[in-house]
Every structure is written in structure tokens, then in C-alpha cells.
Amino acid sequence: MTILKLSNEMKTVPMKPKYNSLREKIRAEKIERAERYAKFKIIWERAVEVGHKAAIEAQPMPMIVKNVQTNEQWHVSEGACGFASIHLVKGNTSFAHWAKKNAGFTKHYYGGLSLSVSAYNQSVERKTAFADAVCEVLKSEGIDCYASSRLD
């Protein structure tokens, strides 16, 4: 750190590290990226764990499906069928790059990245609970995301 005197105030300005060679700089950046990616892995694993717990604890409203022509009925204990997704608003952040390589995120039509929730059979309520819980954990870590769902 270097202390600079600006007018009558003393301010501390962080100095950029100086490298003796380009190889040294690349090596240092590689180490920083590995540390950052290790942190992202921990965040993602915690988010998935919290999301899984939320999905398991969700209690979908059962429904009965009836064929009006034959009067056959089926009990669907998992409730309505549907889809849920997790969306990263910006696709060019460090976390987004990591998520694309390691967590299965893909480009989203409206920008950013998205991950479709494929677990929990066809239950839209369980999938939505998972996506919402994952987004809450990611938001608490400063990652801009949102969850969406739709019925089938």
C-alpha cells in the first residue's frame, strides 16, 4: 500500500502487484482464479444442498386426473406437472463462467445463463421450491439470479 497526499488529506491507494515477467503474472492470475473457482464450488454445493432440502420438504397438492370419455381416474400424488429454471442475469461474470463449465448452465434466450431443474420427476412445486432456494443462497453471496417456473 502506498500513502498519497492529496490536498490536506491522507489517502491510502492500493498498489497493483508488480511482476518480473509475464509468466509470473499469468501464474499468479491462475492461482487467484483457482481459489475463486474453489469458492464458487463451495457456494454452489451449499446452494444445491439447501435447494434439495427445500424440494424434499415441499408438499405438492395432490390431484386427480379424470378421463371424461371413459371415466377412468388417476391419483397424482406429486401434483401438477411443470418446469423450473435458475437464471443468472449476467453471463459474463466470473461465477457465470464457472457455472457454464462446471454446473451445467447454458446460454439463455433473453441473455445470461440458465439451468433447467430436471430432478424431482414432473412436480412443478418441488422443482420451483428447489430453484427458489438455490437462488436465495446465490443472492446471499452477491450473485444476481432469479428462478422461474411454468406449468406443462
Task: Give buried/exposed letters for 57-88 (b at 16+ CB in 10 A, else e).
Answer: ebebeeeeeeeeeeeeeeeeebbeebbbbbbb
CA angle at 86 for the pair 63 and 142, rounded to the nearest 5°:
135
Residue 60, classed as helix, strand or coil, is coil
Single-letter amino acid code for the residue at 96 = A
Cα dist. 64→58, 69, 77, 94, 126 in Å?
A: 19, 15, 8, 46, 18
Tell whether the model's pLDDT for residue 5 goes beyond 60.
no
Mean pLDDT for the stretch of residues 122-127:
94
Task: Compare 12 and 141 and report the one with higher pLDDT.
Answer: 141
In this prediction the pTM is 0.82
Tell whether the model's pLDDT for residue 8 goes beyond 70.
no
Mean pLDDT of the chain: 90
